[in-house]
Structure 1
């Protein structure tokens, strides 16, 4: 989905929520200050092909209330926020989707399983699966997969101290930051996302030791 297509989809959703019915092709074109409806028509065709909307023979637009049927998609209905206090109602009508493709489908990424609890302050738990972007350089503050002396691999926050030294910082007060000469540290990737399944999560996993 392009940026313009996302803007059009958002407008259709907002229009429906406000008016109780969907906008016409002309109304969409007018909203985006376009004199030619053919451009809007092309964007709507793409949205329909991707399963976000459907149109009748008369061109009537309607939002598809379920995730597009795509075996390779990671798109889930988005129902808003949830409170840890009072319960909230889950609406039956879906107007938005959360697309996790950027995290879970990445040509330059790989997965690792975390062992240990040195990064619990960043909500990375023992036995989590992390998605790592294959990169050899990192910005200060990014969480990286680093290899020390070509042998020991660790997951830590990265800081280039600018004086020929690298600092790797855990997210757990029980662990001390580690400082190494820069040539001893090789960056193998930068954290992109976390995948956690509660199906097999062990009780007390937050505190499991390595």
Structure 2
């Protein structure tokens, strides 16, 4: 059956919508949708129609078929191109050649992580500002010098660099206005270690304004 130009444009639009849905579904659920879930989302009665769109996306290199009824993205949804340098001091020559891909999937992988919103400025010298969102790996151990979420006396939590000294734990701020704190090791529990920071630049501007 021949497809006219108008029909072809409609098919491509639907394929783009399906691709966008697969991306957003994966980000929410950490798995890829089934054909039935895609059909249900778009109110498509025939699963074979979904299959046709997915096979086209496979041909174009956007998807790969891993098993019956399951298709995965052939690219990482958390990857972005680094296209050059930008000067934060003196201006430099503009260079826009693509030379590297940055993959932040390890930062945003939520299987063993959680997020916290920072209150206060005790970690500013580590570039963690009031209002930032930190991504925390959920674990109960830390290495000397790591920035950790610490529970003190099962009552208070704080974000500090941790150092283990004999039977004591030293909690160090990244701000000269705050003195180090010392606690007996049994009073301190590590609840996670910082893996990254998310900063909403517009929100920062609002707070300054």
1: distance between equivalents of 2:85 and 2:133?
24
Q: Secondary structure at the match of 2:84?
A: coil
Q: Secondary structure at the match of 1:136?
A: coil
How far 1:96 sits from its partner (Å)?
Answer: 2.3
User: Where does residue 172 of structure 2 map in the other structure?
Assistant: 169
Aligned counterparts, 1:1-12, within 5 A: none
How far 1:154 sits from its partner (Å)?
Answer: 0.1
The answer to whether structure 1 residue 148 and structure 2 residue 152 are counterparts is yes
How far 1:204 sits from its partner (Å)?
Answer: 6.7
User: Where does residue 199 of structure 1 map in the other structure?
Assistant: 202
Cα 1:204–1:173 change in 2 (3 A) is farther
How far 1:203 sits from its partner (Å)?
Answer: 5.9
How far 1:94 sits from its partner (Å)?
Answer: 2.5
The answer to whether structure 1 residue 86 and structure 2 residue 91 are counterparts is yes
More helix by share: 2
Q: Cα RMSD over matched residues? A: 2.3
Higher relative contact order (CA 8 A, sep 6+): 1
Aligned length: 139
Match of 2:192 among 181, 189, 193: 189
User: Where does residue 163 of structure 2 map in the other structure?
Assistant: 159
Compute the TM-score of the two structures, normalised by the length of structure 2.
0.61
**CA-to-aligned-CA distance 1:173-199 (integer Å, 9 cap, x gap):** 110100000000000000000000102
Compute the TM-score of the two structures, normalised by the length of structure 1.
0.61
Cα 1:87–1:184 change in 2 (3 A) is same
Q: Which runs of 5+ in 2 are unaligned?
A: 1-59, 64-72
Match of 1:138 among 131, 138, 142: 142
Contact 2:140/2:191 (8 A) holds in 1: yes
Cα 1:99–1:150 change in 2 (3 A) is same
